[in-house]
Amino acid sequence: MMRLLLQWVLSALSLMMVAKLLPGFHIKDFGSALGVAALYGILHVVLYPRTVARGLYSRVAELWAVHLCD
């Protein structure tokens, strides 16, 4: 449980750092970053097993990352 919380907080911190570095990528506060990190983690758990067999996970992640950066 402690590892999960640590990963969640580190993911939120990394999102905050990305928001500071990339123009056009905005996160209002740390609570929002925690919410996005939680949503990303849930999507990863739900979608990864279904898409990895088809090889689509990396492509979906790439497209999502490009969409976020635009």
**pLDDT for res 67:** 66
Confidence of residue 15 (pLDDT cuts 50, 70, 90): confident
At 3 the three-state DSSP class reads helix
Both tokens of 68, joined, read 């976020």
Q: Name the more confident of 70 and 62.
A: 62
Q: What is the pTM of this model?
A: 0.64
- Do residues 43 and 35 lie in contact, with contact meaning Cβ atoms separated by under 8 Å? no
- The total number of structural domains in the chain stands at 1
Kindly write down the DSSP assignment for every residue of 10-60, as one continuous string.
Answer: HHHHHHHHHHHHSTT----SHHHHHHHHHHHHHHHHHHHHHHGGGT-HHHH
Segments forming the whole domain that contains residue 16:
2-69
